[in-house]
Structures are given as structure tokens and as C-alpha cells.
Structure 1
Amino acid sequence: MVRILGGLVGLGFVLALLLGIYDTVSNWISNPPQATAEHEFHEHPRKAGFSFEGVLGKYDNRQLQRGLQVYKEVCAACHSLRLVSFRDLEAIGYSEGQLKTIAKGFQVPSINPETGEAATRDGLPSDRFPLVYANDVAARAANNNAIPPDLSLMAKARHDGANYIYSLLTGYREQAGYKNEKGEELLKQFPETKTPEGLHFNPYFATLNLAMAPPIQDGQVTYSDGTAATADNYAKDVSAFLMWSAEPKMGARKTAGFASLIFLVIFCFLAYGAKKQIWRGVKD
């Protein structure tokens, strides 16, 4: 009797599941989801050709240093890098003296030892990059009610992060007349998506419109190594730097993984040889 009741209960669950699937499929067929502007006109990141891509790819320290320069002269006006310490920059080729100079160029929060009141001081290599704004209220007040995100982990927080950042920085377009790969014009198909005042159209952004104005332009930053001062180079360099800030141990991880694969291949050959040696006198 118990088995019969258990079987009936199980059969009931199966029938309920099948009915739910049937209802979902039938609703989808009779009322298919409507196309949205975000789905039809959002573009996937373009490939920038970074040196660290691929199994054996590695960071280019010169590029990372240029990216840091772009961050300091452009991005640091709005975006924090709160999870990165100045001394971490030693990994991209800076000496101890250079680290002290870089840290000194930032003011970090401190306490006045005489009065106990809040104050600021020159940064030290042991400090982290300071926050740009004291709190979200101050950030919104300075940025048209938008909060600039911290960039420490941005390259890992977005799909194809480095290429996404590069595409976003170089992807600002005029919305009027913009067409997707199918040749469809955005405002003709979705006139309600006209970019509101205070926002900027960018097909690489999830909602197509964002509060950040185009941050870079040709000639904005002068590189000391003679690299061309173009917006495309700025975007590539700062994207590479933000990839490093999000995953500074990528090179070590790839090296360890490659060494592990070599070990496993050698181990397989040794194990096979041991098996042949142990069972050599046994006939099938």
C-alpha cells in the first residue's frame, strides 16, 4: 500500500512538471518575447589584440605603465582603484624610488596627531589608491546623479573584460542614423530609445546609454616613451592596466598551469611504462 501511494505521489509530481513545461512552451509560442533595443542593437566587444590573451600570453609592462599614466591623468578624476596598493606596482616594473614618487602624488586620508581631526597626507607605498569621493552622496552630486564604479576589478566583473573596456571607451557614436549589423536603424525601429539629455549613446553599454561622457581623445595624454598619443592607444593601454589590477597573478597562474600539464603528460608516460613493466610476464 505504501509503495502504491508513493508511486502515485511521484506520478503526480511528474504530471505537474510536464504540465508546467507544456504551459511555458505554449505561452512562448503564442506570445513570443518582444525584441528590445538592448537586444537588437547592443554590440559585443571588439578584439583589441592584447599581449596577455591566449594560453601563453603575458603582460607587457611598458603597456601597463602607459595604462597607469592614462588612469592617473584621466580616469582618476572620477574612478577609484581602492583594492590596489602603490607597492603592487613593483610587479609592472617600477623601482622603490619610483613607487615612492607615484604614491606621493596622491593625498590619502589621515588623522592630525595634534588635534585628532581628519586630515590628508602624502601617500606611501604601503597605502592603497585613495577613494575619489568620500561617499556615494558626494559621487552622485558630482556626476549627474550617477556613481562612477570602482575600477579595481572591472575587467573581471564584465564578460571579456579588457576588450569590453576598450570597446566602451572607443565606442561612443551619434545615435541619429545608427544601424546594427542587420542594417536596421535604431531610432526608426525604437523611437522611444532616444538618448535622454545628460546621457551618451554607446552600443557597447548594456542599456545603450550611459552617464559618462567620452573620456578620452587624441592628444590628451603625452607618453614619455614616444607611443602615439591617440585615443585608441589610450583605450588599449588603460584596459590592459585594469586587466592587471583585476588579475595581477595571471602570468604566474598560466606558468603554473603549463608546468602542471607537462608534469601530467610525463606522469602518464611513466605510469604506462610502470604498468608494462609490472605486468610484462602476465599473458592475456
Structure 2
Amino acid sequence: MRKLLPALLVAGVVMSPALGRAQEPAAPAGQIVGDAPGEAPDATRGTEQAVAEGHGGEAGGEHATPHYPLKKPAELSWTFAGPFGHWDLGQLQRGLKVYKEVCSNCHSMNLVSFRNFSALGYSDEQVRALAAEYQITDPAPNAQGEMFQRAGIPSDRLPSPYPNPEAAAAALGGAHPPDLSLIAKARSVERGFPRFLLDIFPWSQYAEGGPDYIHALLTGYEQAPANVTIQPGTYYNPHFISGPALAMAPPLSDGQVTYDDGAPATMEQYSRDVSAFLMWTAEPHLVERKATGFVVMIFLIGFAIMLYLVKRRVWADTPH
């Protein structure tokens, strides 16, 4: 009996899956095996296939799901890229001009102070003159206990075009424009495997995903394809990271901003300049950080060589 019991247990384990399958009811006529009961087999596959074929969707088995952005941004050449990158002050000044004349009509930059612009090559007098162009609500009330406005000073932060996010959403059809202080670090498109593995090497150090994405978004508006339906009041942009369309209308056009240094007044130039400027506002100490890291790497390499030589000297007379 003791020898027969293990054999019965093994036979039960082997036979139980087959018995279970034999007891399952047969699929009703016309139903495709694998679909949920009552589901129309081809109810949504046509739409998903159209999205997959024409708008960047990736097929996963029988179904296709669009992955945003539909078009990945091109990797551009920036002066601040790589381990020896540096800021182009002329480009940053042009980017500030584009922000002031175009972007600041809707977007705030609450984490940037006027005095920070001295790093862009402006003198103290120029920074004070720039701040005085804005009317700032003083954080402290006057002697009568009332809030009042005054001319800006270098320690003030750039004012928002709207008093609060709710007012901004109400004025812009329900869409609240994001603050641009850190947008170049907050928005980026993944490079995917295996390219992101190369970013750790010193000769790459790819950190320009934010500017690449901003440039692609500003210049990537297109006419919506016939098989894509977008919501009223939105604009088709295959580079948008959250969907096929966004509420922001195309903000830039040729000849919109006049540069003082004679740079081309084109949408491409505007986009590059403001993208570089937003990278600076998001990480103003980028160049200093890279310089410090380069010095640290040299020190660590020299320190490792010194330790190796000391080890050889200390253990030279010890038999191994």
C-alpha cells in the first residue's frame, strides 16, 4: 500500500490538467477563442490597426496601442552637450528674448529671479532695467494693510501672467500652461535600449533630451491625418509626449521676434534659442558641474595609480 500511494499521487497530478480541459465547455459557434465572452471579435481592431500603421503604434499580439510621442525628437547639436560643453551666451540671450515676447504671455517661470540673468552676460544695470519693466505685487502690505504693486528689483522672481492657475485655465479654455522653470528637465523622451546604456560613458553623457523634445514640439505641428480624430480646440502634434494633440496653438512663426545681433528671424532659430534658454533655467550650473566632475575624475585616476604603486612597494619583499 505504501508503494502504491505515491504512484496514485503522480497519476493524479498528470491527469488533472487533461481532465480539467475535457470538462471545459466548448466555445459557442462564431466566437473566437481567446476573446472575452460577448465581445465583438473585430470591434476595435480596425481603429487600432489604423493607429498602428499610420501613427507610430506598435503591434502587441493581435492588438495595437499607440505609444507617444508618435515621432521621437531628433538629436540636435548643442554647445552645452558632452563633458566639455559650454553655454552660448548669445543664444541664451536670444532665448530670453523669445520667452519674454512669446512664451511669457501664457507660461510662468516662478523659480527664476531677475538677478540670475547676470550669468547670461548682463551687467547689474541691465538686470535692474530689465526687472523695472515688470510690475510686481509686493509680498508685504503697505502701511494701510493693502497689497500694492511696484517696479521689479533684481531679487524678484519673474511674475506669472495670471494671478493663479485657476485664472490661467479659465482664460485658456480649461488648459493650465505649465511653469517653464524646470520644463527642460521634466520633459524628455526615453532613448530606449540599448542606446541609454551608452549615456553613462564620459564621451556621451547625453542629457539633452529636454531641449531636443522642446525643439521638436515647437516645430512639429502638422495637419492631422484623415484617420485621426482630435478634440476641438486642440492641435495635432506627433511629437507631443502625452497624446496626438495638445491645447497650445503653434506659438512660433517666422519674423515674430527681431534679434538685436542679426541672427535669422526664423521659427527654427527661435525654437533652438528658447530650448537652450530653458535648459539653462532648469540647470544653470550645468557647465560648472561638468568642470568639477572632470577634475574629480582626474583626481580619482591619479589616486588609483598611486595606490597601486604604493601596494607594489609595500609588498615588494613579501614572497607570494
Normalising by the residue count of structure 2, what TM-score does the alignment of the two structures yield?
Answer: 0.72
Contact 2:107-2:178 at 8 Å conserved across structures: yes
Give me the identity figure in percent: 47
Kindly provide the CA deviation profile for residues 136-161 of structure 1, in whole angstroms up to 9, marking residues without a partner as x. Answer: 22101211110011000000101111
Change (3 A) 1:223 1:133: same
Question: Structure 1 runs of 4+ off > 6 angstroms?
Answer: none
Choose from 197, 211, 214 the match for 2:250: 214
Q: Aligned to 1:121, what secondary structure does the other structure show?
A: strand
Contact 1:48-1:236 at 8 Å conserved across structures: no
Q: What is the deviation of 1:112?
A: 5.8
Question: What letter matches 1:276 in structure 2?
Answer: R
Higher relative helix content: 1
Normalising by the residue count of structure 1, what TM-score does the alignment of the two structures yield?
Answer: 0.80
Partner residue of 1:199?
A: 234
Higher RCO (CA-CA < 8 Å; seq separation 6+) = 1
CA distance in 2, matches of 1:246, 1:41: 22
Q: Which moved more, 1:100-109 or 1:218-227?
A: 100-109
* RMSD after superposition: 1.6
Partner residue of 1:245?
A: 281
Partner residue of 2:5?
A: none
1:173 aligns with 2:209: no
Change (3 A) 1:40 1:33: farther
CA distance in 2, matches of 1:276, 1:95: 56
Q: Equivalences for 1:114-263 in 2 at 5 Å? A: 114-159=143-188, 160-176=209-225, 187=226, 191=227, 193-205=228-240, 206-263=242-299
CA distance in 1, matches of 2:70, 2:132: 42
Q: What is the deviation of 1:113?
A: 2.1
Partner residue of 1:281?
A: 317
Q: Aligned to 2:149, what secondary structure does the other structure show?
A: strand
Q: Equivalences for 1:69-108 in 2 at 5 Å? A: 69-108=97-136
Q: Which runs of 5+ in 1 are unaligned?
A: 1-29, 177-186
Question: What letter matches 1:135 in structure 2?
Answer: N
Kindly provide the CA deviation profile for residues 152-174 of structure 1, in whole angstroms up to 9, marking residues without a partner as x. Answer: 00001011111111110000001
Q: What is the deviation of 1:119?
A: 2.5
Contact 2:68-2:244 at 8 Å conserved across structures: no
Q: Aligned to 1:35, what secondary structure does the other structure show?
A: strand
Q: What is the deviation of 1:40?
A: 7.3
Q: Which moved more, 1:225-234 or 1:135-144?
A: 135-144
Q: Which runs of 5+ in 2 are unaligned?
A: 1-33, 36-60, 189-208
Contact 1:84-1:245 at 8 Å conserved across structures: yes
1:272 aligns with 2:296: no
Question: What letter matches 2:120 in structure 1?
Answer: I
Q: What is the deviation of 1:175?
A: 1.1
CA distance in 2, matches of 1:147, 1:162: 21
Contact 2:69-2:243 at 8 Å conserved across structures: no
Count residues with an aligned counterpart: 240
